[in-house]
Amino acid sequence: MKLNEFNNAFQNEQQCLAYIANLKENKCIRCFSFNLNTSDLKRMRCLKCNQTFSILTGTIFSRSQTSLTSWLVCSPTGLYILVSNSLPPQELPLLVSIFY
């Protein structure tokens, strides 16, 4: 993906959330059910246990003050690594040279 294509694909938070949702295995954080209401990616609801959570829950993005568009610009090629939590959050600032 070229930089201009990248910038067009991730112009706002909603586009970033949709991209992360496609990479992540979406299941309930409480009962692990895949039966979710995902009409709003900011607040998803488990249809089995009624738990609500964000698509960012369980990722390093969940408590960050940095916008998703900034995260994706900082590390476009490493997004899958970041979402899957295989990189410890403490090491991320060294990788992208920002602090959250």
Task: Note the pTM of the prediction, 2 decimals.
Answer: 0.60
d(CA 35, CA 16): 22
In the chain, how many domains are there? 1
pLDDT tens column, 5-44: 666 777 888 888 888 888 877 889 899 999 999 888 778 8
Contact between 19 and 10 under an 8 Å Cβ cutoff? The reply is yes
Question: Domain span at residue 24?
Answer: 3-96
When the pLDDT of each residue in the chain is averaged and rounded to a whole number, the result is: 75
